[in-house]
Chains A and B, each alone.
Chain A
């Protein structure tokens, strides 16, 4: 064995021991290349989801039906931009710049959550996104607060607090609609009917078909399987839907006494894969708006850089 190989072995033993002891891995610690790559992939996808996810909600800012709701929605979209910032910064601790990651998003080499490839067609979608999409995101993300990589775990603590606020606001928006006029109630039910199945798909493919799951669990980046989290989410939503006075669009949904969980119908994975392949209703629109904003903003970023170079200040 060469000295270098012996060193790498010793480093790996330290890394493995830290994982085993549930200690955090920090940016300066040694880590396997695949662990680093896997984290960058996951954090980038998460950051991209935050900034693409601004679009379907920004779609309703200018039409929000009361000033109170407008303020809540604007603040929510602003929080998403903020989450994007924390997550790109967390990814930078692994040596990958925001520019590099944005470039990968714009060229389609990195993905964002497929849920944002669905359109927001009515105001009630703002409620359904908050309740279901943010609800599913929280179910996925709360365990990430204990993820093995320190900067990611810490970013997630703050993000989860804000997400749970968004989830409650979405629920409250839907409740107001559900208890409002007949037309408002119908709008709320229609939104839940459209967003329910895509929300269940947010947990990713079933465990036996999930490409990255096993390794991520071993590295303690991921703490629970896709199917476990999906089941947890369904169990949380069923009583909430009842309180809302809305139904979930699944005839097979029922309590299973033996399992202590709700059974639910089969998910149409062909739809999931189609959307993932780029054939969802808004894939082209979302990415082209993102690219356009970036391209149209190029002269602004160039001006800030030129000014900073002239005046020796930090680039804006």
Chain B
């Protein structure tokens, strides 16, 4: 199940990154909000990975090259602006994708129909913060601009067709760009002009080629599970 792995890994990896914020958020309300989003994503990941096999074997025993998530979600948290920029790009994509999957009636329709409600909240949360940071202080504007520039090259990959997801990828892409453009404009930010993918491997997460920080993330995530082969928890 290529698609279950691709979508499941996206949710699993982003959930993990958001979990790294616990105890470090800029304000108590965001401790609750970021954990909430992480939990929603983890719930989605568990359903999706279970469609492809045993959730724990898949999460804890695969090597880096076997993960099928897009590189965007594995990017380190950076400052709060980076986390929000990453979430904005991803949640906007995920909402549009899940809306289509829910309507399509394929194997992911039940999950997508439920998850799209959660994702709409994630996107709304990211949009609100994009507005506050973009149109807040000079410092927050600059940080948000820098974050978008840095992450922009990982956004092209989102629209690579995923085998098993019967959606119109071109219109999904167009809708995503419209939505993002409108939010960034309201936030007094520009749509970055840089390339949407790297010259060599950036944008190959779906093929199992990842970025350097991902290996370290997996080492931390998998260490305990792998230290006790066959144990149940």
**A208 CB, nearest partner CB in chain B, Å:** 37
A266 CB-CB contact with B under 8 Å: no
Nearest residue in B to A286 (C-beta to C-beta)? B23
Interface centre among B43, B45, B59, B225 (most CB of A within 10 A): B225
In angstroms, Cα B25 to Cα A55, docked, is 12
CA distance A173 to B233 in the complex (A): 7
Contact A77 B28 (CB under 8 A): no
Are the CB atoms of A82 and B32 closer together than 8 Å?
yes
Contact partners of A255 in chain B: CB under 8 A: none
Does A302 count as interface, using CB distance less than 8 angstroms? Answer: yes
Tell me whether A67 and B32 are in contact in the complex, defined as CB-CB below 8 angstroms, given that A299-B139, A316-B128 are known contacts: no
Q: Name the residue among A180, A307, A311 with the largest chain B CB count within 10 angstroms.
A: A307
Please, which residues of chain B bring their CB within 8 A of the CB of A81?
28, 31-32, 35
| Residue in B24, B43, B140 whose CB lies within 8 Å of A293 | B24
Q: Which one of A56-64, A143-151, A213-221, A245-253 is at the interface? A: A56-64
Distance between Cα atoms of A54 and B20 in the complex (Å): 12
Q: Which residues of chain B have C-beta atoms less than 8 A from A67's C-beta? A: 12, 42, 45-46, 49, 55-56, 59
Give A101 Cβ to nearest chain B Cβ, in Å: 11
- Within 8 Å of chain B (Cβ to Cβ): is A142? no
B-contacting 9-mer, from A21-29, A68-76, A268-276: A68-76
CA distance A61 to B22 in the complex (A): 8
Residue pairs across A and B with CB atoms within 8 Å: the count is 148
Q: Could you tell me if B136 and A303 are in contact, using CB atoms closer than 8 angstroms?
A: yes
- Min CB–CB distance B128 → chain A (angstroms): 7
Any B CB within 8 A of the CB of A176 = yes
A152-B77 Cα distance, complex, nearest whole Å? 36
- Chain B contacts for A303, CB-based, 8 A: 132-133, 136-137, 139-140
Tell yes or no: B220 within 8 A of A by CB.
Answer: yes
Chain B residue at minimum C-beta to C-beta distance from A316: B132
Residues of chain B lying within 8 A (CB to CB) of residue A84: 28, 31
Please classify the interface of chain A as helix (H, G, I), strand (E, B), loop, or mixed, using the class held by over half of its residues: helix
| Cα distance A308–B140 in the bound complex, in angstroms | 14
- Is there an interface contact between B136 and A307, defined as CB atoms closer than 8 Å? yes
**Is the CB of B3 closer than 8 A to any CB of chain A?**
no
How far, in whole Å, are A308 and B132 apart by their CA atoms in the complex? 8
CA distance A177 to B79 in the complex (A): 37
- A contact residues around B230 at 8 Å (CB): 181
Which single member of A85, A177, A301, A307 contacts B32 (CB below 8 Å)?
A85
Give every chain B residue within 8 A of A3 (Cβ-Cβ). none
Q: How far is the CA of A246 from the CA of B20 in the complex (A)?
A: 32
Of A62, A181, A306, which is within 8 A of B137 by CB? A306
| Cα–Cα, bound, A307→B31 (Å) | 20
Q: Is A259 an interface residue (CB 8 A)?
A: no
CB distance from A117 to the nearest CB of B (A): 15
- Residue pair B232, A176 in contact (C-beta under 8 Å): yes
Question: Is A277 among interface residues, defined by CB-CB distance under 8 A?
Answer: no
Within the complex, what minimum Cβ distance (angstroms) separates A172 from chain B?
11
CB closest residue in chain A, given B49:
A67
B36 contact from A69, A78, A289, Cβ within 8 A = A78
User: Which B residues from 30 to 62 make CB contacts under 8 A with A?
Assistant: 30-32, 35-36, 38-39, 42-43, 45-46, 49, 55-56, 59-60
Tell me which residues across on chain A come within 8 A of B42, comparing CB atoms. 67, 70-71, 74
How far is it, in angstroms, between the C-alpha of A149 and the C-alpha of B42 when the chains are bound? 39
Chain A positions within 8 Å of B231 at CB level: 65, 180-181, 183-184
Expressed in whole angstroms, the Cα–Cα distance for A304 and B124 within the complex equals 16
A181 to B42, CA, bound (A): 27
Q: Is A202 an interface residue (CB 8 A)?
A: no
Cα distance, A207 to B102, chains bound together (Å): 62
B179, CB-defined interface residue at 8 Å: no
> Which B residues touch A181, using CB under 8 A?
228, 230-231
Is there contact, CB below 8 Å, between B135 and A307? yes
* Interface check A88, CB cutoff 8 A: yes
Listed from nearest, the 9 A-B pairs whose CB atoms lie closest are A297-B26, A303-B136, A303-B140, A78-B35, A58-B22, A81-B31, A300-B26, A58-B23, A307-B132
Residues of B within 8 A of A (CB): 12, 16, 19-20, 22-32, 35-36, 38-39, 42-43, 45-46, 49, 55-56, 59-60, 79-80, 128-129, 131-133, 135-137, 139-140, 143, 220-221, 223-225, 228, 230-233
21 residue pairs bridging A and B, Cβ less than 8 Å apart:
A61-B19, A62-B19, A65-B233, A66-B233, A67-B12, A70-B19, A74-B35, A77-B35, A82-B32, A181-B228, A181-B231, A293-B26, A297-B25, A297-B26, A299-B137, A300-B27, A300-B80, A302-B139, A302-B140, A305-B136, A316-B128
- 15 extra interface residue pairs, beta carbon distance < 8 Å, beyond A65-B224, A296-B26: A51-B31, A54-B22, A66-B233, A67-B49, A70-B42, A184-B231, A289-B24, A293-B25, A293-B26, A296-B79, A300-B26, A301-B27, A304-B27, A316-B29, A316-B132
